[in-house]
Amino acid sequence: MNDDSSQLSALIGDVYDAALDPALWPNVLEVTCGFVGGLWCNLFTQDSVQMKSPFFVNWGVDPSYERLYLQTYVKLDPMTVPSVLYAHAGSVLTVSDLIPEDEFRDSRFYREWLMPQGIVDAIAAVLDKSPTSYAAVSLCRHTRHGPVDDETRRRMKLLAPHFRRAVAIGKIIDLHKVEAAAFADALDGLATGFFLVDASGRIVHANASGHAMLADGSVVRAAAGKLAAVDHTANRALNEVFMNAPAGDAAVGAKGISVPLAAGAGDRYVAHVLPLTSGARRKAGVAYSAVAAVFVRKAALDLPHPLETLAKAYKLTPAEMRVLMMIVEIGGVPEVAPVLGMAKPTVKTHLQHIFDKTDTKRQSDLVKLVAGYMTPLS
């Protein structure tokens, strides 16, 4: 195994360990910067309706610039709206994939916040996207690294599925630290179905919710003591993950991140599989003679993000959506133009198109329109 493969394998193991112990994330992000090539890296989950970040961790960001970002520049980031609008879970994107390069370079965000840090480019992997949540890991490139290239993309794509799985499981256990030695005890109270299985899929432990699911038999069942999905396609996917788990974290790959499970009544569930054969998690695996932990929960409604719905309803272009959100967040054309890196006449043109398409006349009408779409789902 070459140095890159060894580094990747160790990093993937650290990612999964961090799913159970969030205090490990800064070290994971530091190693990610070294593997992918970047100045700093951050990981965040965001409430898409309230635009708040319940979980944010970074490595390498100068504390003074971090404060500036949270106080001022988080609302000026020109990549936020296109990321939420057009990315999907699993996407690996660069700045140029989201907005025109010239607009990015002319934006206040770049000129006042990124450029003084020597940052020339960024790459991000979208980890979760739903009507109510958004999560991503992003990495910024310094002048010494140069712009994102094919090798940078390749390395980020290798890590993306493992970050996705870790974040999905972290959300289930509510980002609390879980000691490997008391793994099952700590998770027995989950409302989510929780199972420990060996390489053959045999159930060696299940929590109360898991036992209830098995008794119901509409989503998963115990077939000769083995965990089996009622849906045959999903069952094959789960068995493949169980068989690969003993070979290590990297062998699991993208499989088992979110295995869709069809229920008899038409409800939709999803299974997330966490390998227990490497890192600190190995203690739990040995203690329970298990190779993987399986979390089964009801799937979120497969609905578009509110901003996607808004853009589609009024046939707003990406540029018009960026202008609309900045108008709502910041104010009028004079304030918005330098933020977006657009000329004032260009912003005025986009704004007029927005008024025409939404049948509104004032900026206050646009604020009400967006607020209506961003109302939390009941």
| pLDDT over 80 (residue 190) | yes
Intrachain domains 3-172 and 181-298 with the same fold = yes
In this prediction, residue 244 carries a pLDDT of 84
DSSP string, 179-211: -GGGHHHHHTT-SSEEEEE-TT-BEEEE-HHHH
Instruction: With CA atoms as reference, report the closest residue to 298 among 193, 153, 170.
Output: 193
In this prediction, residue 378 carries a pLDDT of 37
What mean pLDDT is predicted for residues 311-326?
Answer: 90
Its pTM stands at: 0.81
What mean pLDDT is predicted for residues 178-199?
Answer: 81
Contacts (Cβ under 8 Å, ≥6 apart) of 55: 22, 43, 44, 45, 170, 175
| pLDDT over 90 (residue 80) | no
Q: What is the mean pLDDT of the chain?
A: 86
| pLDDT over 80 (residue 301) | no
**∠ at Cα 129 (127, 134), nearest 5°?**
80
Record: fold of 181-298: Beta-Lactamase (3.30.450)
Position 188 confidence tier, pLDDT thresholds 50, 70, 90: confident
Record: fold of 3-172: Beta-Lactamase (3.30.450)
- The residue with greater pLDDT, 11 or 56, is 11
What mean pLDDT is predicted for residues 77-89?
Answer: 84
What mean pLDDT is predicted for residues 359-376?
Answer: 84
* CA pair distance 68, 86, nearest whole angstrom: 27
Residue 50: HSE in the Cβ half-sphere, 13 Å Cα cutoff = 6
Contacts (Cβ under 8 Å, ≥6 apart) of 95: 79, 101, 104, 121, 122, 148
If you classify domain 306-373 with CATH, what class do you get?
A: mainly alpha
| pLDDT over 80 (residue 302) | no
DSSP 3-state percent helix, strand, coil across the chain (nearest 5): 50, 20, 30
| pLDDT over 50 (residue 1) | no
What mean pLDDT is predicted for residues 207-236?
Answer: 92
In this prediction, residue 376 carries a pLDDT of 47
pLDDT digits (tens, 9 = 90+) for 24-43: 999 999 999 999 999 999 99
Instruction: Give the other-Cβ count within 10 Å of 346's Cβ.
Output: 16
In this prediction, residue 375 carries a pLDDT of 62
In this prediction, residue 34 carries a pLDDT of 95
The structure tokens listed for 243 are: 């068989």
The structure tokens listed for 95 are: 């700045």
What mean pLDDT is predicted for residues 222-231?
Answer: 92
* Secondary structure letter of residue 99 according to DSSP: S
What mean pLDDT is predicted for residues 179-195?
Answer: 79
| pLDDT over 70 (residue 175) | no
The domains of the chain are located at: 3-172, 181-298, 306-373
